[in-house]
Structure 1
Amino acid sequence: MRQSDREDEKVIRLFKQLPTIEDKRSMDEIYRNIKHGMYKKQKKPIFVPALTGIAGLLLFLLVFPLIFQQSPVDYFSSHSEVKESADSGGMMENSSAKMERGMNEADAEITMYKEDAIDNDTSLKTAVYEENTLENEVYTFGVVVSKDAIAIPVALMEHKSSDDDWLAQFQEVAKSFNVSEYGFSDFAPLLDAMELNEERNEAKVTISPENRLFFETNERQLTYIVQYLLQTQNINVVKFVNENEEPVELPHLGVVQDVEVKESLRKAYFLYPISKDSEYLVPADANPDSLADALTYMKTKPNDNYQSVIPDELTPEIVKEDTSDVTIKFNKQVELDQGDQLKNMQLIEGILLTAKEFGKAEVQFENIEPSQWESFQFDQPVKVPVAPNLIKR
């Protein structure tokens, strides 16, 4: 005999030992007594039947947990109502499990989204790269840092527009850019004063009494502002005139000469810290004769505002150079995942931007680890940036 059968018989015997309670009165008599009791308060309530019922209930409660623990399946199989309750409970458990799995999957998706967003938002890269231009339009500007009167190149990105008038797009983006938030002077007057002659690949800037203050304030930086603005456009020269289409003069420059827009300025890049939380990679004024000379120059301190991005103990050397690509080897092993990660990024991007200024499209780095870092693949040539100093808004 199974253990569960023996336990069932034991329970039956225990139930049979309980005192028997019988009531031989007719239903009419019981009804009369109940009705009579509603109007007449009992002086001596009878406790015996109630106590007997309570004793039986207590005994059942004492025995029931033992049966439930030892053989729940056999016991409940003989009680249809309890089984239905168990089935219902099982359905609730299944539903709860499905709901929990769904919530876990949703949490996983949210977590992945957050991680992707964090990756995009916390990337150490400061420049614009080719992959950034697939769905976005890049707008390059020359801005002047108010406190130092230094012109630096910056870039903004917007979703691509169907408007072919790029100057109108530049003007619109410039007006939406809160330059004072970044410590820059307003450069919108230059764009408003500019007209294009696309057939001749020329731009004309009209200096009038209304905008003259802007040009007098920024005349020493005017050439750089124009270069950084038009370097990525198909414009070869910029002419400056007054409202009568005549040559125009400024206090320090005298007659403003035409500016030849160059695709490459052949300059070395340095770090320009404006504040503790605001740093930019900028080209210095000097014009090295070659990329090799520029790399050597990058280890110096050209002025009080600029800092080298190359550590003192490190020296980059050119081991192979072609027209459009170059191989640069460091004299010591560079561990990019060690130390200040932002400084490491400034080292790489400073060299890439300098190589771009000398007409290079790709740079192969040697003696550098790890082979993959911050989406760079150093086991293959690295493409130079499209533009420096992306303003992330």
Structure 2
Amino acid sequence: MKESKWSDEQLQELLSQMPKIKDNRDPREINQAIEIKMGKQKNRTWILPSAAAAAALLLLFILVPNLMSWQESADKQVELQADRSTSSEQIQSENNTIPEAKEEDSELIAQEEGLEEQEQAQLSTEPEAETSDEISKKIVASESSPTAVYEEDLSGKAVLTYAIPDREAQNIVPVSVLVDEDPARTKFELFEDTMSRLTEDAWGLDDYYPLKANFTYDQGNRMLTVDVPEDHPYSMSSSTELLLEKVLANVMRDLNIEKINLTTEGNTGIEFSHYGYREELIPENSTGNLIYYFLYPNGADSKPFLVPLREKINSIKDALTAMKQNRTENNLQASIPEDIDFETEEIQDGKLLIRFNNESEIIDNEPTFHAIEAILLTAKEFDFDTVKLENADVDKIGKFDLTEELKVPVAANKRDLPN
């Protein structure tokens, strides 16, 4: 850079020749003007950042709701897809329970809010739930358990029938058990040996066996000797003496015994507190026939015992009519439903014909099955061998084929012995 050729004196002289500048404004006015200019300068400095911030906020308010709406829509799509996937996996397993839930929900809505007429008409066409009575009427034949012993039960078996008092000492219940046949032993020996195996208490009966006595059986003369100890329990009351007599009378009948001799520790006769001294037992000839009723010692839902009462009735028709009535004095129930009406006809060769009236409803269930068993056992007491049932609503009840003649049972009240 070239050095200036002007001296200081020359510069001063040159400046003094320039026109003078004079400002007539008040100094405060000048100061105020300066301050105003400085404020405007500062404002200009923040104009662009402020505008940029405002624009950013505006874009934020515009974009954020759209972004949130888009995200919510995306989430819903994911949820919907997941629900659809879960539903497709559960449809098969829930297919059986959905109708039941719908029925229950429909009933609640109908009660609380009411349904439209069209929906109510649709619900009225749905099948109603079966009552307990309707269900019980549909018990299948395979579930009907026989109470009696029949010929087909006797293959290689011997039937033994025990007269057992009930717990109230009101009735003598014939209970039949099956044991293996033994040609080397008499039926009475089998009868005596099996006494201790009876489970009367489990059956709901009095724990009566084995009898507190020793037995001697003369098969040739068909005579039985019963020897009791001095402290025997059969003389405590008139009822215990009567029960022993009834039990021994049934033993005579079932084992074809003609006479029973009574002894006490080898000495002739037994001294009873009410009957007095007795040396033998010869049952009196009773008039009438045995008629079977139901006994439920273990409750009405259990299998009944068929208990015979000797009635002074000499016709099978009157006997079957009597079986429709309860015997409250003996705690026995009717064995034939009162609403079942029929006509009876005695046919030659030991055949009884029973024809049901059209109004009678014959159902394949367990009560009807046991009613037929009671009819067959009673018919046996009147010397019938077979019974033919006609005009029933069904062809089969339990094991009974109603298109065929039914054979009377061998014995009543089959029960199983413990192993």
**TM-score bracket for the superposition, by shorter chain length:** 0.5 to 0.7
Helix, strand or coil at the partner of 2:357: strand
The aligned counterpart of 1:151 is 172
Q: 1:80-95, aligned counterparts within 5 Å?
A: none
Helix, strand or coil at the partner of 1:380: coil
> How far apart in 1 are the matches of 2:151 and 2:212?
26
TM-superposed CA distance for 1:263, in Å, is: 12
The reply on whether 1:232 has 2:254 as its aligned counterpart is yes
Contact 1:236–1:261, Cα closer than 8 Å, also in 2: no
Contact 2:141–2:399, Cα closer than 8 Å, also in 1: no
Q: 1:333 to 1:207 in 2, by over 3 A?
A: farther
Contact 2:325–2:338, Cα closer than 8 Å, also in 1: no
Contact 2:292–2:323, Cα closer than 8 Å, also in 1: yes
TM-superposed CA distance for 1:271, in Å, is: 0.7
The aligned counterpart of 1:116 is none
TM-superposed CA distance for 1:167, in Å, is: 2.3
Measured against aligned partners, the alpha-carbon deviations of 1:264-307 in whole angstroms (never above 9, x if no partner) come to: 97211111111213521101243322222212221222334011
Matching residue's letter, 2:333: Q
TM-superposed CA distance for 1:326, in Å, is: 1.6
Measured against aligned partners, the alpha-carbon deviations of 1:116-160 in whole angstroms (never above 9, x if no partner) come to: xxx999442110001001132211101112244432100111232
TM-superposed CA distance for 1:221, in Å, is: 2.0
The aligned counterpart of 1:50 is none
* Of 216-225 and 127-136, the range deviating more from structure 2: 216-225
The reply on whether 1:283 has 2:308 as its aligned counterpart is yes
> How far apart in 2 are the matches of 1:264 and 1:365?
28
The aligned counterpart of 1:310 is 336
Contact 2:224–2:261, Cα closer than 8 Å, also in 1: yes
Q: Which runs of 5+ in 1 are unaligned?
A: 1-118
Q: 1:161 to 1:273 in 2, by over 3 A?
A: same
Q: 1:56-95, aligned counterparts within 5 Å?
A: none
Q: 1:263 to 1:132 in 2, by over 3 A?
A: farther
> How far apart in 1 are the matches of 2:163 and 2:322?
23
The aligned counterpart of 2:411 is 387
Matching residue's letter, 2:161: T
TM-superposed CA distance for 1:335, in Å, is: 4.9
> How far apart in 2 are the matches of 1:327 and 1:357?
16
TM-superposed CA distance for 1:334, in Å, is: 5.2
Q: 1:226-375, aligned counterparts within 5 Å?
A: 226-256=248-278, 258-260=281-283, 266-276=289-299, 277=302, 279-304=304-329, 305-322=331-348, 324-332=350-358, 335-338=361-364, 341-375=365-399
Contact 1:329–1:366, Cα closer than 8 Å, also in 2: yes
The aligned counterpart of 2:216 is 195
> How far apart in 2 are the matches of 1:265 and 1:190?
29
Larger radius of gyration: 2
User: What is the TM-score with the length of structure 2 in the denominator?
Assistant: 0.58
Measured against aligned partners, the alpha-carbon deviations of 1:188-245 in whole angstroms (never above 9, x if no partner) come to: 34384332111111222223315x2046463222333224334332322333333354
Q: Which runs of 5+ in 2 are unaligned?
A: 1-139
> How far apart in 1 are the matches of 2:209 and 2:383?
30
Contact 1:363–1:384, Cα closer than 8 Å, also in 2: yes
> How far apart in 1 are the matches of 2:287 and 2:333?
22
The reply on whether 1:207 has 2:228 as its aligned counterpart is yes
165, 181, 188: which is aligned to 2:186?
165
Contact 1:145–1:152, Cα closer than 8 Å, also in 2: yes
The aligned counterpart of 1:6 is none
Contact 1:236–1:262, Cα closer than 8 Å, also in 2: no
Q: 1:191 to 1:157 in 2, by over 3 A?
A: farther
Helix, strand or coil at the partner of 2:190: helix
> How far apart in 2 are the matches of 1:314 and 1:225?
34
Percent identity over the alignment is: 24
The aligned counterpart of 1:39 is none
Q: Which has the higher contact order (CA 8 A, sep 6+)?
A: 2
Helix, strand or coil at the partner of 2:311: coil
> How far apart in 1 are the matches of 2:310 and 2:261?
22
Contact 2:149–2:411, Cα closer than 8 Å, also in 1: yes
Q: 1:22-101, aligned counterparts within 5 Å?
A: none
> How far apart in 1 are the matches of 2:163 and 2:235?
14
Matching residue's letter, 2:258: N
